[in-house]
Amino acid sequence: MHHFRYHGDELFCEGVSIETLARRHGTPLYVYSQQTLTDNFRRLDEAWAGVRHLPCYAVKANSNLAILRLMADLGSGFDVVSGGELLRVLAAGGPADRCVFAGVAKTEEEIVTALRAGIHCFNVESEQELERIDRLAGDLGCVAPVAIRVNPDVEAHTHAKITTGTYENKFGIPFDQVEELYARAARRRNLWLRGVQMHIGSQLTRVQPFEDAVRKVAPLVQRLKDRYGLEFFDIGGGLGIVYEEALASGDPAWWQTPRGRRMLTPELHAARLVPILKPLGLRVLLEPGRFITGNAGILVTRVEYIKKTGRKTFVIVDAAMTELIRPAFYDAHHEIVPVRRSKAAMVECDVVGGVCESGDYFCKDRPLPLPRPGDLLAILSAGAYGSAMGSNYNTRPLAAEALVHKNRSALIRQRQPVEAIWQWERPAPWQR
């Protein structure tokens, strides 16, 4: 259950008014609920109590230092996909020895940084990467912990841009090549074969693809464990969330879709997978990201104009694809609700931003109580892949972010000063 509710006609995050936060910090503004973040992490952690496990929060979902600190305090590990994300985790107080480092294009500098920090493991995506890690570990006089990422060629049945587990994707080693690669890796002096990893995609709403992949890979993992003494099996992330959710009741059925279908829960996920994984006798690593932060955050935006063309009603707001690119990039659905409930007539609207792209929209032909200029709207389920994918396109400053804990709030990222956008740019020496 998330902690964004209407109290009377006004939307609150836990015990703090969204309207008050918008007056204090301006808009566009991300607002996160600490209680929701905590509840989501603990729920997943408890669901997997039947097997030794470590949740490794996927930093790419939301990399704000305050959220990383909270995850570290809750005992989470971390899934990082760049040297920058690793340094963020360390800056937030997260331990390097609970970080797994994924990604297909790790540079020499990133590998050296991770080795010196004492990374828990590299998730290796190619044989050339394995060779590079071995060489750099030798140069540093250390042994590098590695887990080869298996591509199981299992269809995740999710959006084409976030599926990762088939041979059409750039990730991992083809299933039928993995054992030979482990054999070659075992002959390298500076590698420690610590585990096996896989990840089939993001925003999965059915448990069957997870089960298909784990059942396919588990016998391979058992053989590799027997041969090389592996310690863990990292099954990746991908647990989906509900996006199509109304707040009108003030007490939404968070784990039901609007059509009443049962949503994939951590309990169902664990119930189907633990019986397959437990006989392996390995620690299970999970990489939750969206599940932890997605429904723990909203994007608050102010209406600037209402524009009627005869065919369309456009609600033009001060947020844009620079703050939340998911609708433009994935055609993703996000519920949009008024911060202060209105009795205005319902009108089919396109809620759009001010960026000079026709794709800059948050919804199309969505029935909404017609707002007025100056009204505040909340774009829900924006805590994952929202701020983290923000940009300065059209020289727009990055949005501010606030964290709420009970009746307290804190600004955890100041709005970027516009001058900071070009602070590292310079005219060429021959220009006046």
Which segments are annotated as binding site for substrate?
A: 290, 326, 330, 357, 385
- Separation CA 153–CA 169 (nearest Å): 9
**Residues of the binding site for pyridoxal 5'-phosphate:** 238, 287-290, 385
- Separation CA 5–CA 14 (nearest Å): 8
Q: Which of 56, 121, 142, 356 is catalytic?
A: 356
Tokens 């437990």, located at residue: 278
Residues whose CB is less than 8 angstroms from the CB of residue 277 and which lie 6 or more positions away in sequence, other chains included: 51, 214, 218, 233, 235, 284
* Neighbour order of strands in the sheet with 16-17: 4-7, 10-13, 16-17
Kindly calculate the radius of gyration of the chain based on its CA atoms and give it in whole angstroms: 23
**Residues of the binding site:** 238, 287-290, 326, 330, 357, 385
Q: How is 53-109 classified by DSSP, letter by letter?
A: EEEEEEGGG---HHHHHHHHHTT-EEEESSHHHHHHHHHTT--GGGEEE--S---HH
Angle, helices 266-277/208-228, rounded to nearest 10 degrees: 30
- Is residue 263 within 8 A of residue 350, CB to CB? The reply is no
- Separation CA 72–CA 97 (nearest Å): 12
Tell me if residue 221 falls in helix, strand or coil: helix
Tokens 């209105």, located at residue: 342
Tell me if residue 220 falls in helix, strand or coil: helix
- As a whole number of angstroms, the longest Cα–Cα distance in the chain is 71
- Is residue 257 within 8 A of residue 242, CB to CB? The reply is yes
- From the CB of residue 93, how many other CB atoms can be counted at a distance below 10 Å? 12
Of 259, 286, 385, 382, nearest to 2 by C-alpha is: 382
- From the CB of residue 330, how many other CB atoms can be counted at a distance below 10 Å? 14
| 121 catalytic per annotation | no
| 3-state SS track over 269-298 | HHHHHHHHHHHHCCEEEECCCHHHHHHHEE
- Active site (catalytic) residues: 356
